[in-house]
Chains A and B, each alone.
Chain A
Amino acid sequence: DIQMTQSPSSLSASVGDRVTITCRASQTISNYLNWYQHKPGKAPKLLLFRASVLQSGVPSRFSGSGSGTDFTLTISSLQAEDFATYSCQQSFRVPHTFGQGTKLEIK
Chain B
Amino acid sequence: EVQLVQSGAEVKKPGESLKISCKGSGFHFPTYWIGWVRRMPGRGLEWMGIVYPDDSETEYSPSFQGQVTISADKSISTAYLQWSGLQASDTAMYYCARLRAGYTYSDAFDIWGQGTMVTVSS
Binding site for B on A (CB under 8 A): 1, 32, 34, 36, 38, 43-46, 49, 55, 87, 89, 91-92, 94-101
Taking a contact as CB atoms under 8 Å apart, the answer to whether B114 and A95 are in contact is: no
Q: How far is the CA of A87 from the CA of B108 in the complex (A)?
A: 12
Residues on B with C-beta less than 8 A from A99 are 44
A34-B108, A55-B110 in contact; A97/B115 too (CB < 8 A)? no
Closest to B99 in A: A91
Closest to B115 in A: A43
Taking a contact as CB atoms under 8 Å apart, the answer to whether A95 and B47 are in contact is: yes
CB<8 Å pairs between A and B, sample of 20: A32-B106, A34-B109, A36-B109, A43-B97, A43-B112, A43-B114, A44-B95, A45-B112, A87-B45, A89-B45, A89-B47, A89-B108, A92-B106, A94-B59, A95-B47, A95-B59, A95-B61, A98-B37, A98-B46, A100-B44
B74 CB–A CB distance under 8 Å: no
**A contact patch SS:** loop
Give how many B residues have a beta carbon under 8 Å from the other chain's beta carbons: 27
Residues on A with C-beta less than 8 A from B113 are 43
Taking a contact as CB atoms under 8 Å apart, the answer to whether A1 and B95 are in contact is: no
Taking a contact as CB atoms under 8 Å apart, the answer to whether B45 and A44 are in contact is: yes
B17 CB–A CB distance under 8 Å: no
1/0 contact string of B53-83 vs chain A (CB within 8 Å) = 0000001111100000000000000000000
Listed residue (B60, B97, B106) with the most chain A CB atoms within 10 angstroms of its CB: B106
Taking a contact as CB atoms under 8 Å apart, the answer to whether B44 and A91 are in contact is: no
Residues on B with C-beta less than 8 A from A44 are 37, 45, 95, 97, 109, 112
